[in-house]
Structure 1
């Protein structure tokens, strides 16, 4: 189901409508279209002579459904894969996309929010632009899409937090 939602999101001329509809119809209160928050976070980290002693961004998950990270080709992100931290590929001209908490909840756990942290670099300035859409702060109690709740896969009452 979420692949269908995301697929129609990618193919549609109204790119945000499908995801926006899912986010606005599965909350604890009615959410107007203009209640959703579209956020742009710009990160600038100067060169760091001792990156092993610094924390770029502490480990966290995003409340958004999806996060899109545009970067300047310098490693910007580590993700927890099993029990190991892995540096995300950072090819120039690419966008890193990862799943956030809202999509984990909407998909009833079929997609998992990515625990990640930001990096600093010894040799290069790191710049990234993170774009994400999230529910309003007073309405973060989302519910799984009804069609994804079955007897064999009941609604998860609490999503794991990284």
Structure 2
């Protein structure tokens, strides 16, 4: 059924659920997984920095010196989690300008000929939600393969 799955992660609360669903589906189907994180180049992601610093502190490792290193470490950690579960996975960190994350995800899905995209829904609250598109919604609208949106 699925041979290639793209798991788009953003280090919000849904990332763990995205990886769990991806692991489960890949285990059932024997699919390989591409773990993708698209980082906005103009500013570091606060959740990613805090998560990486906590992870490094628990592991007794020195803190990464820049947001790109932090993001790469998180992708590597996600690949390790999947690999430990017996899933063949590789990671990819892309940099993009703000607002172009959905296009980056869709481009990778097309280039890698994935059969399924798994990603979480990022909830924007307050008035800004009216003016900002949701990455999951944009990917869902324009994907050429099935999309699983994990709450």
TM-score (structure 1 length as normaliser): 0.26
Of Structure 1 and Structure 2, which has the larger fraction of its residues in helix?
Answer: 2
TM-score, length basis structure 2: 0.28
**Larger strand proportion of the pair:** 1
Rg larger in 1 or in 2? Answer: 1
